[in-house]
Amino acid sequence: MVGGLSSHFDKNVKYRLLRLNDDGCVGEFTPNADVCDSLNVHAPGSSDACLQRCGAITMLPAYAGLPIAQVVETSCIHRGDSSCRVEVRFGKGTKVPPVGYIMPRNPMTH
C-alpha cells in the first residue's frame, strides 16, 4: 500500500516494504537520485521531513477503515545512517488487506 501510494504524495524518496505481517511492517525510504542530482544534495529534506512521513504512515491504515498505526523511525539518513527505516505496529484488530484490495474513495464514510 505504501509503495503504491508514495509516488502520489512524495517524490523526494522511494519507499520500499521490507517485511509485512498482521502485526506490522518494516519499511525503508531512500533518497530519489533524480531529486538529489537536481538539488545537489546527498539526501533531500531533513529529519523533520522524515517525521512528517512517519505521521502520514501512521494514518494510512485509516484509509482502509482500520485503527491508526504506531510508527517509529529506527534509522535515519539525516542522523548518519545509510537509509531511513521505519517500524510500523498496526492497531489491534488490523488485518493486512488482501492483494488487490481497493481502498474506499472516502475513508471517512467507510
Q: How far is the CB of 107 from Zn ion (least distance, A)?
A: 26
Per the CB < 8 A criterion, the answer to whether 88 and 74 are in contact is: no
Rank residues 15 and 66 by Cβ distance to Zn ion and give the closer one.
15
Quick one: which of 1, 13, 43, 50 contacts Zn ion (CB under 5 A)? 50
In total, the chain counts a number of residues equal to 110
Quick one: which of 84, 86, 88, 90 contacts Zn ion (CB under 5 A)? 84
Residue 89: which of 67, 106, 108 has the closest Cα?
67
How many C-beta atoms surround the C-beta of residue 66 within 10 A?
19
Q: Which stretch binds Zn ion (CB under 5 A): 4-12, 64-72, 82-90, 95-103?
A: 82-90
Report the DSSP beta bridge partners of residue 30: 14
Q: How far is the CB of 73 from Zn ion (least distance, A)?
A: 6
Reading the block at residue 58, the C-alpha cell is: 501512521
Site residues for Zn ion per CB under 5 A: 50, 76, 84
